[in-house]
Structure 1
């Protein structure tokens, strides 16, 4: 009996010793793991399609119609919130945000202040006096004088040339036939396609360039060439025309990887 009791005591002692000598779990390592961080953007204006960029991890997303977003991040990552109508805001993920997994943001409207400019004569506030001091005639348009006018979209020079090349007078117009045979019609259609790609590319560059390169670094002198590289893609119009900023950014990210890969292979 004493022998069994001695064995039991020794076993308990061994278990306690192992528990005391066991190294504590390293909780600090968990702080360097990325987690999904959810958040809500608050503002007085439209909060849809606000660009949310993890500048450290070089990933991005956009807010939905109600201002909610979700993005991956870890301690010390920098989140950038960017939109045309709001001031740029940066938030560094701290332990509070990391542990809660929540990052709510309030954005301030972007106000472009202009220098005070006085145009014309200064108004006094006296209606009759101000009317007498005001000069200028009201504008006249073709409706005022009874002249029929075109109120639709103004065609570009290439579009006007194409219209001229594909229309003509007479029972059998010769212009369309001759231009089709000589290839001029096809050439003009190609010009119009190039102009539309150029216009769309310039629009995307003006709106999304800063936000895109914040998470996808590229030398300044290569950026214009990169956008032309994107516009040359046969699916450029399909992926970028009348699409949300998020879908356009996804397309740009795919082309970015291809562009960087081409640069690397050229250097090698």
Structure 2
């Protein structure tokens, strides 16, 4: 018997497993739609309540960020697997500047630097960015006059735009977290159980992409400190 629309709207306990060549324990699984959260066990298994079209974010410092949209097949089977790739941190810029003192606020004021990229150094490298699956879908939906009209009417273009922006934010906040978390919380402590919520609080900010995309580490850290103050104020209220 096939699913009905009423079944699609129900929340189901989904059983998933993360497959990876690295450590599979304590990988974060976030249902971005319902704001539910869990972590994997030693063998990569987890359970999280979900419903149709919910977005799951699989986040780990050691792995590439993965975003999954719950579909009817996953709900019907009530189980699925997610394959994670190791995160390879490539050196894409070298900052030449003053020696840092170790005092975070003092260093923020004193650092005056210009990033040295591979392009500036004359090293041959690919400077473009490979489109994601959602970006390819959006490009295809916009191709041709008839296709653009049809996909505008049925909402595909709007949905693909939202997915592209979601993935862009998730990828950026994952990168920022890997680079800034240790320094940020060393100087501005925050309970470990609140840190994941804080990162997504930052990503939801209307100025997040404008303030953090393609910006150097000092500017990004300034943004994080500002957001952390607001986050703590909101929780105290």
Q: What TM-score results when the alignment is normalised by the length of structure 1?
A: 0.44
More helix per residue: 1 or 2?
A: 1
User: Between Structure 1 and Structure 2, which shows a larger proportion of strand residues?
Assistant: 2
Q: Which has the larger radius of gyration?
A: 1
Bigger relative contact order (CA 8 A; separation at least 6)? 1
